[in-house]
Structure 1
């Protein structure tokens, strides 16, 4: 791979191209501008980020066709188009998922939700526990659970056409034998599994309708159906709670991702629905991110 980056022409160096790109992205407000600059060039050259970093240290040149393509992609990123839309992929735990317009880009914060659900699956009494992901989006949560808990059966429901297309591609690419995807409304999801499910997990839309997401990548590019959850942001959370009550067996876990200020409201909502032992958990940035409860 490294040989592909080594040239003897008089064109711009890899190091110079990255430096210029990082400066341009920083001026546009991209927080981790150097990292994004390196990842974009790795995508252009079809090599690893490590190979790009090594080429920069060696002083390798960057040929004009690659430099022109790189500048195009940097301009797109400077417009705050998500990096994952530009490269077409998003890392999530050990997976590389296909993403693009019409589907929510999986975030590192959601790995906390997956770990909580995974721990519950690994502790389940059944030798073949069932997990359900309500509103799977790209399929990130369901596929992470299916591949990291191969003894479990994982079912994923999605009711947005654009997101379902991406999920279907990711399910096919990952090829987890124990994962099933369905295009179905969350309220009617998997009636044949009523009372049999050990873990119900969801990262629903939870932004209040009147709120404006802080990041342009979210505000301009994430699909509204994956963001907005009604006046208080909890409309889909209420549906997840109701559906999970139908699906779960006694003692089963429901785990729901949410905004950092919504934990108390969701705990109250779950208790009112009949769930017990509600608890809110922080993500790696020490922000409240996931609320869990147990089926009565």
Structure 2
């Protein structure tokens, strides 16, 4: 049985353990886990001097799991994305901060579509393909309330998480394949947004342990070159969008030329452009339907 211990000593020991385990942000993760077991937030940990024995034991168990590279968000059950809090766990892809930029682009594009509609009163329509936890769709409902949001997810496990995160938001959530999803909306959509699987199968060994061992492979890998889902997206977005509608999708940083080329080569798109993330790496593509 563990004994009570000081907050400082606990965090120092946990940080060392996580660092030895190869965790990228050991001090941050240690503080998040301690706040979690104490039912508080990281900023309020300074108010804690001594941690009770039962909480010490719970904390040390979580630290050991995190040192074994179980995702932090699986241990706390929460992922933060833009301005929303999402429930996550085994069976669903944990949303990454980089994807917040793509969501922000989609929100801006919807606002522009709404302004362009003028006084028609018709709300803009967005389709979120491969919604996963529902992170992008949830952010859009949070920041662009007038939009009509539709989302689809293939995985049964991930779909259950999306149902939980999108409950009460008015999002039209469906389970199915993005290749055929929302045929009833063909030719009417203003914005298509997607964070598809894009990791080449050959890159298995280079994927971080948290993703490779815990994120669903359906959300990670996409054929020998990582572009299979993006090719499907190109065809589906072209069918869904109205003329002049826009699409945005994430890709791997090594695909800064290959991913845009999928769209440029089809001849259906104008303004094909790649965007960089906050670290300066190629991260997502946007394009406008030309026809």
TM-score, structure 1 normalization: 0.92
Write the distance in 2 (CA, Å) between the matches of 1:211 and 1:53.
Answer: 42
**Partner residue, 2:274:** 280
Instruction: Say whether 1:157 aligns with 2:152.
Output: yes
Pairs within 5 Å for 1:115-154: 115-124=104-113, 125-126=116-117, 127-154=122-149
Flag structure 2 segments of 5+ consecutive residues without an equivalent.
Answer: none
Q: Given that residues 88 and 98 in structure 1 are in contact (C-alpha distance below 8 angstroms), is that contact kept between their aligned partners in structure 2?
A: yes
- The alignment status of 1:250 with 2:243, answered yes or no, reads yes
Runs of 4+ in 1 over 3 A off after TM superposition: none
Distance 2:46 2:270 in 1: 51
Asked if residue 170 in structure 1 is aligned to residue 165 in structure 2, the reply is yes
CA contact (8 A) 1:84 1:105 kept: yes
Q: Report the Cα offset of residue 246 of structure 1.
A: 0.5
Aligned runs of 1:2-151 on 2, under 5 Å?
11-55=4-48, 60-124=49-113, 125-126=116-117, 127-151=122-146
SS at match of 1:103: coil
**Equivalent residue, structure 2, for 1:3:** none
Cross-structure match for 1:5 = none
**Per-residue deviation, 1:285:** 1.1
CA RMSD of aligned residues (A): 1.1
Give the Cα–Cα distance (whole angstroms) in 1 for the partners of residues 30 and 173 of structure 2: 35
- What per-residue deviation string (whole Å, max 9, x for no partner) do you get for residues 52-85 of structure 1? 1332xxxx11111000111000000000000000
- Per-residue deviation at 1:11? 2.6
For residue 273 of structure 2, give the secondary structure of its aligned residue in structure 1. strand
Secondary structure at 2:179 match in 1: helix
TM-score by length of 2: 0.94
Alpha-carbon offset, residue 28 of structure 1: 0.8
Count of residues in correspondence between the two structures: 280
State the SS of the aligned residue for 1:250.
strand
State the match for 1:210 in structure 2.
202
The one-character-per-residue Cα deviations of 1:67-111 (angstroms, maximum 9, x if unpaired) are 011100000000000000011110001111011111100000000
Unaligned runs of 5+ in 1: 1-9
